Amino acid sequence: MKKMLLLWYNSAIALSIFERGPFVKHKVILDCDPGHDDAIAILFAARHPEIDLLAITTVAGNQTVEKTARNALKVCSLANIRSVPIAKGMHRPLVRPARHAANIHGESGLDGPTLPEPDIELAPQHGVDLLIELLLKSDGDITLVATGPLTNVAMAMRREPAIIPKIKAISLMGGAANLGNVTPAAEFNIWVDPEAAAIVLACGRPITMSPLEVTHQARATEEVLTRLRAAQRPIATFVCELLAFYGKTYSANFGFSAPPVHDPCAVAAVIDPTLVLTRTIRVEIETTGEWTAGRTVCDVYGKLGKEPNVHVGYALEVERFWDMLIATLVSY
Ligand code: RIB
Ligand code: CA
């Protein structure tokens, strides 16, 4: 009986989500470092009816860029996402050595479920060149969603500054107004490549940042897992297997009872900006501090006297977020 109710509930939500009325599709390029939560962000962006996913570019972050690229191929192959070019990007940060997060995502970067070998191949271009190519030929209507270190995005801006006015907006997962997660001061995506983050935050285009204060509200609780399992759909079940591994590493490293799915928040913020509550403030990136490198310095009280440059998230509409994400995942 409970399973039937859950199926009915998810179906009702799916209908409500997929029939939000007339909408304009958002053209999106997703730059990511899969990574368990990046994988869920890929599935979310590729399937939601209000997103036209133009390309996936991968970057060194959670694992090497070879592994993040391979993981993107595997996830897209499994989910039959075949019309989205996937390009491998930068293999290390602009200045610093590459650093990874095997303690969270495992040696493969997507430990847990056994994924079949991908039957799709990488695009021939470097990820940075694909970003530049698509942005230059666009009408300035592409939103960049970045869920890994910002190395590719920064490199593209430096290599071809003409892309900057062509970027409609940037929605990124990264940073923290308060505690970091890889050091007390810094969140992983920014910590890996602070110089890249500083370049991107200074680009002058509209930026929405979903920091840990937002993404730590997106916990994949038992209720979420039950709703996903109840659908008895292959991709929803795969996501549960991802979350089983990811939940163990988050419990071991942070004592969390349920893992936060960070990256889908940056996708949700594009689909429905009311899902992430933001304040528009100045954000600077610490690039030199011995203990604070990678910190997103969020000038909440305007003490720096500098123009605001980022819409910084401080809260998530948790129930509506999960309704939208679950409805999308169970629709595969
Ligand atoms: O700090 C969390 C972020 O770092 C997420 O994007 C996760 O995938 C890792 O890239
Ligand atoms: Ca990520």
- Ligand closest to Cα of 254 equals 1
Cβ distance 79 to 53 under 8 Å? no
Q: Which pLDDT tens digit goes with each residue over 3-32? A: 666 665 556 555 555 556 677 899 999 999
95 phi/psi in degrees, rounded to 5? -125, -45
30-50 tens-digit pLDDT: 999 999 999 999 999 999 999
Q: How do the domains of the chain map onto residue ranges?
A: 2-18+26-329
Is residue 17 helix, strand or coil? helix
Give me the pLDDT at residue 2, please.
64
Q: What is the pLDDT of residue 23?
A: 73
Q: Which ligand is nearest to the CA of 31?
A: 2
Rounded distance between C-alpha atoms, residue 163 and residue 111, angstroms: 35
Residue 188 CB–ligand 1 contact under 6 Å: yes
Q: What's the helix, strand, coil split of the chain in %, to 5?
A: 45, 15, 40
111-138 confidence digits (pLDDT tens): 999 999 999 999 999 999 999 999 999 9
Instruction: For ligand 1, atom 1, name the residue with the nearest CA.
Output: 188
* CA nearest neighbour of 329 among 219, 249, 245, 240: 240
- Centroid of chain to Cα 66: 18
Q: For 297-315, what is each residue's pLDDT tens digit?
A: 999 999 999 999 999 999 9
- The residue type found at 164 is I
Which amino acid type is present at position 169?
A: A
CA 312 to chain centre: 15
Distance 6 CA to ligand 1 centre (A): 30
The atom of ligand 1 lying closest to the CA of 181 is 1
pTM as predicted: 0.95
Cis peptide before 35 (omega within 30 of 0): yes
CATH code, 2-18+26-329: 3.90.245.10
Q: Where are the beta strands (DSSP E) in the chain?
A: 26-32, 51-58, 86-88, 142-146, 167-173, 207-210, 276-285, 296-299, 310-316
262 lines ligand 1 (CB under 6 A): yes
